[in-house]
Structure 1
């Protein structure tokens, strides 16, 4: 299902108030992705003073964790929805001197080229329809050579009815992201796991810009 920026804004305007209270039940392995990302940064020696961006940062849950895990990093959160960013601002208040939040669609001018050591997408890319290819290409432009793009997201489902239902909630669920990421980046880590007895699979991917 095609999902416009206006449609996503409206969707998350309604969901902002209950997002963190409900998403734990199906947005799996977000903490796992952050652990893998920080370990990968440490392996490159770039964790001190790292520049990190999250595309689709939502309520700031991940940014708050990254601020704790990377105490010298400069963090940027990008999101379309002002109510979500208002919550992100509260979530990251204790690290406000290191966190920049910006409202708008993700594009080439959102960040400086070759400016980031780590770019995170957490359950965001499957909602870029159309636009997931452009988002991956834009992340490649923004991350520094040797930098990391980290993604956790829905992958696929064997059940057509479930894929249709997810489409009604703006999520494309047909395994299209891992091949695209692997084609553009050098794979450092890739994991898939089933959820709810195989109703769907989700994945964690870490890739390096060569």
Structure 2
């Protein structure tokens, strides 16, 4: 795979074993995103950058008729995800594949081109060409489909010391909040004729956005 895959594998070779336990304290808004998906019966739901499979398992539990798909560039994370999915009893409903989020072909990976819901949770802040991920994901929305994103915000309403400490700490993990994300989402919405809604919960700690096909 690519240099990005090698970097992620090196980073998460050991971290993947404690990832979910440690990240639950600061990857805020993931469960709210899942609750807001409201997919139609029998929906096909894709997560881009699925990591350990934590979100996909929660989605499968919340929406029993949904078929779920996940892709990630890291083989190490996918190994953890596959084990977690099997333990949860969802191997028949969750399909996992290794792929680059900036250039994936879901027809080759999963045998389908469009998805009713696509989720990107705290992945854009880890992918330098994050704009390409947005462009790629919106290409594969089905009719009336929606793209749901949660990630680090600009922290504009947080204390300056906290924002600086958080940014420095995230940098150790090659994570960079995408402060240009709201503006780019607006551009994508206009270019693709999508309806955008977004909020900045937790005093700007996070950004939560939805792009919908009208």
TM-score by length of structure 1 reads 0.84
**Number of the residue aligned with 2:47:** 54
Once the two structures are TM-superposed, the CA of residue 160 in structure 1 deviates from its matched residue by 4.7
Aligned partners of 2:8, 2:154: CA distance in 1, in Å? 21
Aligned partners of 1:61, 1:165: CA distance in 2, in Å? 23
Aligned partners of 1:20, 1:168: CA distance in 2, in Å? 18
Answer 1 or 2: higher relative contact order, Cα 8 Å, separation at least 6: 1
**Contact 2:117-2:141 within 8 A present in 1 as well:** yes
Residues 174 and 72 from structure 1, CA distance in 2 versus in 1: closer, same or farther, beyond 3 angstroms?
Answer: closer
3-state SS of paired residue (2:106): coil
3-state SS of paired residue (2:69): strand
**Number of the residue aligned with 1:44:** none
**Number of the residue aligned with 2:37:** 37
Aligned partners of 1:187, 1:26: CA distance in 2, in Å? 28
Once the two structures are TM-superposed, the CA of residue 162 in structure 1 deviates from its matched residue by 4.0
Aligned partners of 2:85, 2:104: CA distance in 1, in Å? 24
3-state SS of paired residue (1:193): coil
Residues 19-64 of structure 1, C-alpha deviations (whole Å, 9 max, x = no match): 01100111011000001112xx3xxxxx211111101111111111
Aligned partners of 1:187, 1:171: CA distance in 2, in Å? 28
Aligned partners of 1:65, 1:165: CA distance in 2, in Å? 28
More strand by share: 1
The alignment status of 1:96 with 2:91, answered yes or no, reads: yes
**Contact 1:151-1:205 within 8 A present in 2 as well:** yes
**Number of the residue aligned with 1:173:** 177
Aligned partners of 2:170, 2:20: CA distance in 1, in Å? 19
The alignment status of 1:28 with 2:63, answered yes or no, reads: no
Once the two structures are TM-superposed, the CA of residue 188 in structure 1 deviates from its matched residue by 5.0
Aligned partners of 1:17, 1:153: CA distance in 2, in Å? 22
Which runs of no fewer than 5 residues in structure 1 stay unpaired?
Answer: 42-46
The size of the alignment, in residue pairs, is 196
Which runs of no fewer than 5 residues in structure 2 stay unpaired?
Answer: none
TM-score by length of structure 2 reads 0.82
Once the two structures are TM-superposed, the CA of residue 114 in structure 1 deviates from its matched residue by 4.7
Residues 72 and 174 from structure 1, CA distance in 2 versus in 1: closer, same or farther, beyond 3 angstroms?
Answer: closer
